[in-house]
Amino acid sequence: MADPARREAISRQARAWLEANALILDTETTGLGDDAEVVELALVDCAGAVLLDTLVRPSGPVPAEAAAIHGITDAMLAEAPTWSEVHDRFCDLVEGRQVVIYSREFDTRVITQTARRYGLPAPQGFDPVLDPGRIHCAMQAYAEFRGEWSAEKGQYRWQKLSAAAVQQGVTVTNAHRALGDCLMTLGVVRAMASPENAQGV
C-alpha cells in the first residue's frame, strides 16, 4: 500500500478535481502511433453529465487490430463527423476547465496530432508540458494511490482502467468505448477522493 501521506495527498487532489467540477475525457483511436487519429471522443463532468459523446470519422480506415479492441468499425464511422466538424465544440467545452484523463499523455498526443492533420491548432492548454496545471492524469494519480511499487521500472505500477475500477468497486461497463471509460474514470476519481479510502480503511 502507498505511504499514508502520499495516499492522503492524492485523495486531496481527487477531491479538488471533484470540487472544481473537472471534465473527464476519453478517446478511442485508430492506433497508438504518431499517425493515430481519434475515432471517438467523450466528455463528462463530475456529476456524470454527458457533455460530448461522438464518433469521429478518421481520414482513413480503422485498422483491424484497433477495431478488435474498441469495436468501432468503418461502417459505424461512415456518417460520423470529421475532427474538423467537432473541433470547435470540443475546444469550447474544455476552454479554461480542469480536465482529467486516465492516460493523459496518450490522449492529449492523439487529440493534438488529429487536429494538426486537419490544419487546426491543438486545444488551448492541451499540452501537459506547456500547461501542466490544467490537464491531469488519473492513471498516474491512481498508481501512487494504489502504491504497488515496480522495482524494475523504478515507479509505481500503472493499473489498467478496468483493473483500477474493479479494485475500487466501480462497475465496469462499456469498457474501451469513450463514454464508458469516462464514467469508469469518474468512479475511480470518486473512490480516491473518499476519506475512508485515503486512510486505507
CA distance 75 to 86: 19
**What is the pTM for the complete model shown?**
0.93
Indicate if the pLDDT at residue 55 is higher than 70: yes
> Residue 130's pLDDT band (boundaries 50, 70, 90)?
low
CA distance 136 to 92: 18
> 178-193 pLDDT, tens per residue?
999 999 999 999 999 9
Which alpha helices (H) appear in 95-134, and where do they start and end? 104-117
Tell me the sheet residues that pair with 25.
Answer: 43, 101
Average pLDDT, the chain: 91
Indicate if the pLDDT at residue 1 is higher than 60: no
> 5-51 pLDDT, tens per residue?
889 999 999 999 999 999 999 999 999 999 999 999 999 999 999 99
Comparison of pLDDT for 65 and 124, the residue scoring more: 65
Q: What are the Cα distances from residue 172, in Å, to 58, 139, 184?
A: 27, 16, 7
Angle, in degrees to the nearest 10, between helices 104-117 and 138-146: 170
CA distance 14 to 11: 5
Residue found by looking up cell 464508458 in the block: 180
